[in-house]
Structure formats: structure tokens, C-alpha cells
């Protein structure tokens, strides 16, 4: 993995947050959730998925965000593509979610393959 990181200029990885009555990073009004998802990346940095572009070291594209919809007990998903020009940042090592713990709140994680170029 370290050799691929050293030989690459760009890296990307898809990540899916499966949610049941849980927000990923925006609430049902479309505003930044107070405690959005955080990801731990390969260089041990913790990145918060926020809407503030200036504070992020990596970029992400929201492919689909169903988790921002109202909480109705239905499984939904938020799909993100994470990109960086610092290849040592990926793969994702861990994810912290904060909108769980209520009676009906559940989540699942699906981390895709890392693509180096």
C-alpha cells in the first residue's frame, strides 16, 4: 500500500453511510448537522465531513444523500466520493458517527476500494 501511495499523485475512495433515522452530515433542513461524520484516514488524521471547503484537506462529492431526509424509520443511504492529492490520506481506517443512540437510530458502513492514479 505504501508503495502505491508513494507512486501516486491522486487517490479516491467511495464511502456509503447506511442510515435508519440518522443524519450523515446534513439535517432534514439541509443545514450542517452539529456533529457530522468523521473519518480517520491512513496518515492518522481525523477529517470532519463539513460544508466548509476552506478547512478540509480532502475533497468529497456527494453522490447521493438520502440520510438528510426526515426520520421515518426507513433505511436510506448517503454515498460520498472522497478525493485527495495527498495519496497517503487514503484508505479510510475508521468512521465516527454521532447521530445514533436513540431508540430507532441505526447505521451501517460500506467502504469501497481505493483507486490510486
Extents of the domains making up the chain: 2-116
3-7, 58-62, 82-86: least confident range? 58-62
- What pLDDT score was predicted for residue 51? 55
Element holding 3 (H helix, E strand): helix 2-7
pLDDT digits (tens, 9 = 90+) for 3-49: 888 889 899 999 999 999 888 877 777 777 766 788 898 888 888 77
Q: What is the pTM of this model?
A: 0.82
The CATH topology of domain 2-116 is Jelly Rolls (2.60.120)
pLDDT tens digit sequence for 40-56:
988 888 887 765 554 45
The CA–CA distances, whole Å, from 104 to 20, 25, 73, 100 equal 7, 18, 7, 9
First-last CA distance in the chain: 13
**Whole-number pLDDT of residue 37:** 81
Amino acid at each position: 500500500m505504501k508503495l502505491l501511495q508513494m507512486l501516486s499523485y491522486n487517490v479516491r475512495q467511495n464511502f456509503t453511510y447506511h442510515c435508519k433515522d440518522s443524519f450523515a452530515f446534513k439535517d432534514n433542513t439541509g443545514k450542517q448537522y452539529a456533529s457530522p461524520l468523521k473519518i480517520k484516514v491512513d496518515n492518522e488524521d481525523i477529517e470532519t465531513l463539513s460544508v466548509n471547503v476552506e478547512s478540509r484537506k480532502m475533497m468529497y462529492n456527494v453522490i447521493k444523500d438520502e440520510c438528510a431526509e426526515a426520520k421515518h424509520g426507513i433505511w436510506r443511504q448517503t454515498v460520498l466520493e472522497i478525493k485527495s492529492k495527498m495519496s497517503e490520506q487514503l484508505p479510510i481506517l475508521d468512521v465516527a458517527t454521532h447521530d445514533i443512540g436513540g431508540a430507532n437510530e441505526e447505521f451501517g458502513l460500506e467502504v469501497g476500494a481505493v483507486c490510486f492514479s
